[in-house]
């Protein structure tokens, strides 16, 4: 009984709003959503350090009328080598560099990386290199090849994806 009383007192004394400060995914398009710097740091701390492309979705809103079924998605990503080039036919992305520095190559064309007759990756040929660091934003329209090509030591990015 004493444990229940202590637990009840804890919940009454501890401000409930402390939990509400955490970013919680919502599908309610009528509500605003805040992703604070603290939320980004907490999400980044949970990402697997052994994965070159580690991410977690923090907000996703559906739109059955879009080609992907999504209106938009907000995610926290950590990028370390090696990275493959990517290109999304029906999705644009806005990247906000939260921590780290490096380079992101865009444009050009994607070519396979072949070693000993086997395709082992993809890279961009003839692209534009963008030096990026904390505080920078990069908009990648749909259909544009993109690849993180330099890291110091990694890039922490908040990505906003929106299908077209």
Contact status, residue 137 vs residue 98, Cβ threshold 8 Å: no
pLDDT interval class at 106 (50, 70, 90)? very high
Helices (H), the chain: 2-13, 17-20, 37-46
DSSP 107: S
Q: Which residues pair with 62 in a beta bridge?
A: 70
Question: For the segment 60-87, what is each residue's pLDDT rounded down to a tens digit?
Answer: 988 888 888 889 999 999 999 989 999 9
- Cα–Cα distances in Å, from 23 out to 17, 38, 160? 12, 9, 15
Instruction: Quote the pLDDT of residue 150.
Output: 94
- 37-46, pLDDT tens digit by residue? 999 999 999 9
Q: For residues 47, 53, 58 and 64, what is the CA-based torsion angle, rounded to 10 degrees?
A: -150
User: Which CATH superfamily, name and number, covers 2-163?
Assistant: Jelly Rolls (2.60.120.10)
Element (H, E) at 147: strand 146-163
User: Do 77 and 157 contact (CB within 8 A), yes or no?
Assistant: yes
pLDDT tens figures, 121-154: 999 999 999 999 999 999 999 999 999 999 999 9
Q: Is 0.85 topped by the overall pTM?
A: no
């Amino acid at each position: 009984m004493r444990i229940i009383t202590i637990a009840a007192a804890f919940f009454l004394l501890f401000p409930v709003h402390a939990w509400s400060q955490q970013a919680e995914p919502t599908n309610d398009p009528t509500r605003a959503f805040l992703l604070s710097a603290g939320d980004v740091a907490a999400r980044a701390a949970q990402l697997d350090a052994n994965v070159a492309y580690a991410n977690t979705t923090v907000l996703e809103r559906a739109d059955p009328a879009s080609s992907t079924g999504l209106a938009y998605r907000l995610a926290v990503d950590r990028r370390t080598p090696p990275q493959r080039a990517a290109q999304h036919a029906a999705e644009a992305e806005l990247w906000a560099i939260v921590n780290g520095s490096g380079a992101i190559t865009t444009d050009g064309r994607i070519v396979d990386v072949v070693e000993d007759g086997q395709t082992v990756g993809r890279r961009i040929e003839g692209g534009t290199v963008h030096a990026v660091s904390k505080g920078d934003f990069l908009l990648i329209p749909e259909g544009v090849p993109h690849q993180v090509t330099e890291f110091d030591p990694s890039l922490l990015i908040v990505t906003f994806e929106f299908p077209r």
